Amino acid sequence: MSSVGQVIRCKAAVAWESGKPLSIEEVEVAPPQKDEVRIKILFTSLCHTDVYFWDAKGQNPLFPRILGHEAGGIVESVGEGVTDLEPGDHVLPIFTGECKECAHCLSEESNMCDLLRINTDRGEMIHDGKSRFSINGKPIYHFLGTSTFSEYTVVHVGQVAKINPDAPLDKVCVLSCGMSTGFGATVNVAKPKKGQSVAIFGLGAVGLAAAEGARVSGASRIIGVDLNPSRFEQAKKFGVTEFVNPKDHDKPVQEVIAEMTGGGVDRSVECTGSIQAMISAFECVHDGWGVAVLVGVPNKDDAFKTHPVNLLNERTLKGTFFGNYKPRTDIPAVVERYMNQELELDKFITHSVPFSEINKAFELMLAGEGLRCVIRMDA
């Protein structure tokens, strides 16, 4: 390609300050350096994490910044030392990475890479501590190493999953964060057996992906727990069979679920970040074999409290990060599950907007409308 080794000028949606609408600007995108890849983004979607850091409440604000981390695109060029990707490859950039060399990457049990684990504070590339984005020579910060709200972006090779070129990028782009997080929490960590019961706490996009994991696993009962009853009807499409609204009961929801299931569910997956939901998700699983998995991110001052007898009675509590998927090794196979019609993605995508209307995606999410809004970069 004629752009190889050159600065590319393209459009990007820049967050100049917290809580203010993104501004479509012309940015310069530098060529990829050692172990980096420059990607032409075709589709990106909005995740709650983007909104959280755009709003900049409860963390270190870093602006101006190009947000975005759920996306699909095509490799435009590669930097020095990149051997497993080449221009034209179809890829998903991912907010966390896999260097394939550290103790975590060499372990079959972990996906928490020492080098490329999610870092929300870093606004530059690891190689040289500099940004690849600029406007009139002034750097614009990266976000999660992906910054997909740009027509072109530069990503560390360890954060890029090469996928089947036949997979529709406007669908599989949602696998680069939320859907894989929820689906993997169920199939890789909770691991319900066919015919078992599963409770899902929180019926947003990640919780419904966890429910999809339970459906694919052959769960006989999938109990959805949410404070918003308007979510119940939609959740039926994802295999949820019963609903519990904690506000409808005068006893703890874990007791309600235990009564519904003759002692507790076999598995539970918590996708809210509420510390009370985490405790309920653990205490609602059956003694002897029940497994609870925590997915939601709590507030920094939260403390998990339960009586140790709940553990001594052979309940298991687990946590997960990105559904325990290694980005480069495992995500291509998740895409294949979609291609083989084992995993449904279309029902997660409730809205679509052109790049010029990216702020509408924020408005939809802030209003609690829909699950995923895909942003078409060429429109």
To the query of whether residue 373 is one of the catalytic residues in this protein, the response is no
Given 10, 102, 306, 336, the catalytic residue: 102
Q: Assess contact for 65 and 148: CB atoms under 8 A.
A: no
Given 105, 173, 271, 284, the catalytic residue: 105
Among candidates 144, 176, 119, 155, which has minimal Cα distance to 35?
Answer: 155
To the query of whether residue 70 is one of the catalytic residues in this protein, the response is yes
Given 25, 44, 49, 98, the catalytic residue: 49
Given 10, 28, 48, 336, the catalytic residue: 48
Given 47, 271, 284, 373, the catalytic residue: 47
To the query of whether residue 117 is one of the catalytic residues in this protein, the response is yes
To the query of whether residue 215 is one of the catalytic residues in this protein, the response is no
Given 90, 142, 286, 372, the catalytic residue: 372
To the query of whether residue 271 is one of the catalytic residues in this protein, the response is no
To the query of whether residue 307 is one of the catalytic residues in this protein, the response is no
Among candidates 320, 369, 271, 349, which has minimal Cα distance to 72?
Answer: 349
Given 28, 117, 255, 357, the catalytic residue: 117
Given 25, 36, 44, 69, the catalytic residue: 69
Given 70, 76, 270, 283, the catalytic residue: 70
Given 44, 90, 132, 177, the catalytic residue: 177
Taking the mean position of all CA atoms in its chain, how far away is CA 253? 27
To the query of whether residue 47 is one of the catalytic residues in this protein, the response is yes
To the query of whether residue 376 is one of the catalytic residues in this protein, the response is no
To the query of whether residue 113 is one of the catalytic residues in this protein, the response is yes
To the query of whether residue 105 is one of the catalytic residues in this protein, the response is yes
Given 25, 99, 181, 212, the catalytic residue: 99
Given 44, 65, 98, 113, the catalytic residue: 113
Distance (Å, whole) CA 149 – CA 165: 22
Half-sphere exposure in the Cβ direction for 115 (13 Å, CA): 17
Find where tokens 């090469």 sit: 162
**Encoding tokens for residue 130?**
């500099």
> At 223, which helix (H) or strand (E)?
strand 221-225
To the query of whether residue 255 is one of the catalytic residues in this protein, the response is no
Distance (Å, whole) CA 99 – CA 16: 31
How far CA 324 is from CA of 39, 104, 110, in Å, comes to 25, 12, 7
To the query of whether residue 351 is one of the catalytic residues in this protein, the response is no
> At 365, which helix (H) or strand (E)?
helix 358-366
Give the residue numbers marked as catalytic. Answer: 47-49, 69-70, 99, 102, 105, 113, 117, 177, 372
